[in-house]
Amino acid sequence: MAVIFGFSSLSRPPQPPGGISNYTVHVAVYAGLGLLTARALAAGFSGDVTRRVVGGAVLISSIYGVTDEIHQLFVPDRTFELLDIGADAIGALVGASALGAWSIIRRRFETPDVL
């Protein structure tokens, strides 16, 4: 969140290379945030990433996306964009869901401890 806030504080943030759109960057960045938030809500690497954890991560990350857009209202040459909020929410869903799917796959292939 601190890195996102830092880039949002710039009047002229670096532009994505090539033909990558601003929305693709939002999806990618918030996918990372959604993944990290889900991992934190699951109590680290040992915890299971349940639907509830995924939902919480998407909610927290999406709310942060809204607050980030509000923050940009106070930065010169930056604006509040509803499409950015949508891209942030999609990214958060992708990242948290990917971690949730990985948790399901990992549980299915774990072998029970046999003493």
Would you state the torsion angle of the CA atoms of residues 43, 7, 62, 69, taken in this order, to the nearest 10 degrees? 150
| Closest listed residue to residue 26, CA positions, set 55, 58, 6, 4 | 4
Instruction: Indicate if the pLDDT at residue 89 is higher than 80.
Output: yes
**pLDDT, position 83:** 96
pLDDT digits (tens, 9 = 90+) for 36-65: 999 999 987 777 899 999 999 999 999 999
Domain ranges, ordered by start, for the chain: 24-109
Instruction: Indicate if the pLDDT at residue 109 is higher than 90.
Output: no
Share of the chain above pLDDT 70, in %: 96
Q: How far is CA 101 from the centre of its chain?
A: 15
Residue 107's pLDDT band (boundaries 50, 70, 90)?
confident
Token output for 107: 């549980």
C-alpha to C-alpha distance for 66 and 20, rounded to whole angstroms: 22
